Amino acid sequence: MAEELKKTPLYETHVKYGGRIIDFSGWALPVQFSSIKEEHHACRNAAALWDVSDMGELLVEGPGALDLLQFLLVNDIAKGYPGRVIYSPMCYPNGGVVDDMMVVCLKDGKYLLVINAGNIDKDYEWVSVAARYFQGVTVKNLSKDVAEVALQGPNSERILQRTAKYPLNEIKYYHGAENVDVGGIDTLITRTGYTGEDGFEIYCKASEGPALFDIIMEADDGDGLVPAGLGCRDTLRFEASMPLYGQELDQNHGPLEAGLGRFVAFQKGTYFAGSKALMGQREKGLPAKLVGLDMIEKGVPRMGYKVFDEAGTKELGYVTTGSYAPTLDKFLAMAFVPVDQSPIGTKARIEIRGKKHLAEVVKMPFYKREGKKK
């Protein structure tokens, strides 16, 4: 008998708004409401709202909380302060990635780790076991108690401000605010964005998630807000060249290979999990490098497809993500290849249904919004 799919607190909301529900890694989630392309363009040009309550949340607190995170995460969490949000991978000793996450620095020395849905149990165990070696640290898995929605797009601030009792223009990029009243609901708001657009992530009690979604949808006043599903979330993050755990990051591919070296704080002065292996990669050279590929010959590249040299005789690597990019009207891919095959302009071939299609290495991100906040 098939295992029943997990549902977020907003499952009935998905149904109410006409979402087409699919099995997404064991979760019943909407892939789309209208169409992937329409929702994609709505986010780029207006605003879109997602339920992302399948994401996990771990609360880390206690006297040794910062020391724990400095050991577990490759970024420098000591540069955080209440209201700061820091992105960081978390690595194995071999330099591969356990998960990547947002660390929301809260008041009173607390930290909220926002982690990937498929890694909740693994991450909780990983962090909890390490916490035993740090004084007075507690790790709480809040995932089932928290609902999260993501409002993204150029009109998102104007829409949310109609119902949020907080000056949202004061929340800078990769920052947040606690205890913000949104339509009478107590929320935590951050401003990061996985779509390449400006936007907010709004957290509340799980029981209040459906009401929060409705409140934000009803705050739209001609600004083009639409409910959105998993399909366009992936095409949007792909255009912005954002990594996805299990594709661009995994236990065999670390942050340096994925082009995330700016998030590895070798200078923080403390040993951290994976630091020896990552330092070795930096000094001796990377085993592979993530590149962007633009299809010269027509074809749809997909995850796992093989990548060959220009002659089509030598296998180089594989596609991590491939798709049609609606904003750019192109077929693009991200792929791991040897470093000597990674310079911009290098030609390669992607095997699609038995035929090797010509592609060219191009700069990432594929898409970057104008006037992006620093």
Q: Looking at residue 370, what is its pLDDT?
A: 81
202 neighbors 151 (Cβ within 8 angstroms) = yes
13 neighbors 213 (Cβ within 8 angstroms) = yes
Q: Looking at residue 25, what is its pLDDT?
A: 83
Helix (DSSP H) and strand (DSSP E) numbers for the chain: 8, 19
Backbone conformation region of residue 164, classed left if phi is above 0, alpha if psi is from -120 to 50, else beta: beta
Q: Looking at residue 202, what is its pLDDT?
A: 98
Q: Looking at residue 374, what is its pLDDT?
A: 39
Backbone conformation region of residue 26, classed left if phi is above 0, alpha if psi is from -120 to 50, else beta: left
User: Above 60 in pLDDT, residue 18?
Assistant: yes
Percent of the residues in the chain that have a pLDDT greater than 70, as a whole number:
98
User: Above 60 in pLDDT, residue 108?
Assistant: yes
- 371 pLDDT band (50/70/90 cuts)? low
DSSP letter for each residue of 189-258: EE---SSSS-EEEEEEEGGGHHHHHHHHHHT-SSS-EEE--HHHHHHHHHHTT---BTTTBBTTB-TTTT
Stretch 14-23: mean pLDDT, rounded? 96
232 neighbors 36 (Cβ within 8 angstroms) = yes
User: Above 60 in pLDDT, residue 373?
Assistant: no
Stretch 72-96: mean pLDDT, rounded? 98
Dihedral of alpha carbons 48, 49, 53, 59, sign? positive
User: Above 60 in pLDDT, residue 1?
Assistant: no
- 269 pLDDT band (50/70/90 cuts)? confident
**Cα dihedral 167→171→177→181 (10° resolution):** 30
Q: Looking at residue 123, what is its pLDDT?
A: 98
User: Above 80 in pLDDT, residue 93?
Assistant: yes
Per residue in 295-342, pLDDT (tens digit) is 999 999 999 999 999 999 999 999 999 999 999 999 999 999 999 999
Distances (CA, A) of 211 to 188, 207, 218, 223: 15, 8, 10, 20
Q: CB under 8 Å to 371, separation ≥6 — which residues?
A: none
Identify residue 292 by its one-letter amino acid code: G
Q: Looking at residue 41, what is its pLDDT?
A: 98
Distances (CA, A) of 160 to 11, 93, 152, 156, 200: 22, 42, 10, 6, 9
337-354 exposure pattern, b = at least 16 Cβ within 10 A, e = fewer: beeebbeeebebbbbbee
The CA distance from 260 to 289, in Å, is 11
Q: CB under 8 Å to 296, separation ≥6 — which residues?
A: 347, 357, 358, 359, 360
Mean pLDDT over the full length of the chain: 96
| Lookup: tokens for 201 | 């992530």
Q: Which domains does the chain have, with CATH numbers?
A: 11-54+145-239 (3.30.1360.120), 288-362 (2.40.30.110)
Q: Looking at residue 270, what is its pLDDT?
A: 78
